[in-house]
């Protein structure tokens, strides 16, 4: 695998999941593969899980790891070409990227959507510049429009917990005080569409997503959507459609996932990528319940990252 930015880069999902479960059963089996190889993880945004799980995955493979938090200890980076750099940004991304590429074998990039300019976000300018100018294989650690390591971990988790061949998976919008990117829901939809699960998306009017959602069924009545669900995947996102791109249109806690909503499901498991705001997205009771699998889901981030790094190392 050269780059990993979306579901198509991983190939057939049944094979990827099989490989993930194999890696999980013996995560040090490939510890010689990454010897004398260096992973550079570049963060333009905060992270807890991605940072730790990806570093751990690289360590399992015997790699060295360098972590860089852009704008914290580095020169401030200009990302737009053509700008007269007479402001506070001392270096351009177009030099910084190939320089960073000199010091490593594989690059991971986290660069969220700015949520101001839809075209800029949906063109994936930052990660695409890394792909173009670093000279190294690049993987997404959540880019502007997708978070494939998360979706892969979500898929592994559903495969582990499902009790029917074709579970009903419901992704529900839930309220949050700040504007969040569409990357996690876009990506989750992309990966769910690549399975044969029954997949339903529910959100208030105005929160329609991009064409990533493919043929997924959209049901505006959250309660109706949740009926008979086997997995409830909660997530907030900011509006995608114009003229409200990047805006918070609602913080209506009638959409919060609570026990009464979970009672409509077929004893569903509760999932969230984390970090989660309790009693906005989900009540304490639901996230602490026996059916909450947010921790095993986060644990699988190590596994999804390890499969991706393993495949990238194998193709170096």
State the residues that interact with ligand CP by CB under 6 A: 47-50, 142, 150, 273-275
- Give yes or no for a contact between 255 and 281, defined as CB atoms under 8 angstroms apart: no
- Residue 180 interacts with, from ligand AN0, ligand CP, none (CB under 5-8 Å by kind): ligand AN0
Is the distance from CB of 253 to CB of 236 less than 8 angstroms? Answer: no
Q: Which does 249 bind (CB under 5 to 8 A by kind): ligand CP, ligand AN0, none?
A: none
Q: Which is nearer to ligand AN0, 142 or 297 (CB)?
A: 142
> Which residues inside 37-56 make contact with ligand AN0, applying CB under 6 A?
none
What strands lie across the sheet with 269-271, from one edge to the other? 217-218, 198-202, 168-173, 231-235, 269-271
Q: Which of 17, 39, 77, 180 binds ligand AN0 (CB under 6 A)?
A: 180
Give the separation between CA 290 and CA 299, rounded to whole angstroms.
17
Q: Which does 48 bind (CB under 5 to 8 A by kind): ligand AN0, ligand CP, none?
A: ligand CP
Query: Is residue 209 a contact point for ligand AN0 (CB under 6 A)?
Result: no
DSSP helix/strand/coil, 4: strand
Beta bridge partners of 233: 171, 271
- Cα(48)–Cα(141) distance, integer angstroms: 11
Closest CA to 169 of 226, 210, 211, 236: 226
Distance between CA atoms of residues 175 and 194, nearest Å: 27
What separation in angstroms does the CA of 158 have from each of 6, 16, 106, 166, 170? Answer: 19, 14, 29, 11, 12
**Is position 115 an interface residue for ligand AN0 (rule: CB under 6 A)?**
no
* CB 232, min distance to ligand CP, A: 17
- Based on the shown chain and the rule CB under 6 A, indicate whether residue 16 belongs to the binding site for ligand AN0: no
Part in contact with ligand AN0 (CB under 6 A); list of ranges 76-84, 179-187, 188-196, 207-215: 179-187
> Least distance to ligand CP from the beta carbon of 141, Å?
7
Q: Residue 183, interface with ligand AN0 (CB under 6 A)?
A: yes
In terms of Cα–Cα distance, which of 126, 153, 159 is closest to 53?
153
Tell me the number of residues near ligand AN0 by CB under 6 A: 7
Three-state secondary structure readout of 262-281: HCCCCCCEEECCCCCCECCC
Please, which residue, 174 or 183, has the CB nearer to ligand AN0?
183
Q: Which residue has the tokens 């751990």?
A: 56
Q: What track of x and - describes contact with ligand AN0 for positions 251 through 290 (by CB under 6 A)? A: ----------------------x-x---------------
Q: Minimum distance from CB of 56 to ligand CP (Å)?
A: 12
CB of 261 to ligand AN0, least distance (A): 21
* Contacts to ligand AN0 by CB under 6 A: 142, 180-181, 183-184, 273, 275
């Amino acid at each position: 695998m050269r780059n990993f930015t979306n579901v198509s880069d991983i190939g057939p999902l049944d094979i990827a999941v099989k490989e993930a479960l194999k890696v999980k059963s013996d995560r040090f089996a490939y510890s010689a593969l990454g010897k004398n190889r260096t992973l550079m993880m570049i963060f333009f945004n905060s992270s807890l899980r991605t940072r730790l799980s990806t570093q751990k995955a690289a360590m399992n493979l015997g790699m060295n790891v360098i972590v860089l938090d852009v704008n914290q200890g580095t020169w401030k980076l200009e990302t737009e070409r053509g700008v007269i750099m007479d402001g506070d940004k001392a270096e351009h991304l177009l030099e910084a990227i190939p320089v960073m590429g000199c010091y490593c074998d594989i690059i991971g990039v986290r660069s969220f959507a700015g949520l101001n300019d839809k075209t800029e976000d949906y063109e994936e300018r930052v990660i695409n510049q890394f792909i173009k100018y670093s000279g190294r294989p690049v993987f997404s650690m959540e880019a502007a429009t997708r978070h494939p390591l998360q979706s892969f971990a979500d898929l592994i988790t559903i495969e582990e917990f499902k009790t029917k061949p074709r579970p009903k998976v419901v992704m529900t919008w839930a309220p949050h005080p700040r504007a969040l990117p569409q990357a996690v829901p876009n990506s989750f939809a992309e990966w769910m569409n690549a399975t044969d699960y029954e997949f339903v998306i529910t959100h208030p009017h105005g929160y329609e997503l991009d064409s990533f959602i493919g043929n997924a069924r959209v049901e505006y009545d959250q309660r109706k959507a949740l009926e008979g669900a086997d997995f409830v995947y909660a997530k907030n996102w900011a509006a995608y459609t114009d003229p409200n791109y990047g805006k918070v249109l609602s913080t209506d806690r009638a959409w919060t996932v609570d026990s009464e909503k979970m009672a409509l499901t077929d004893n569903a498991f509760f999932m969230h990528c984390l970090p989660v705001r309790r009693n906005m997205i989900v009540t304490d009771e639901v996230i602490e319940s026996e059916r909450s699998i947010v921790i095993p889901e986060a644990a699988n981030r190590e596994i999804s990252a390890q499969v991706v790094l393993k495949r990238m190392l194998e193709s170096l």
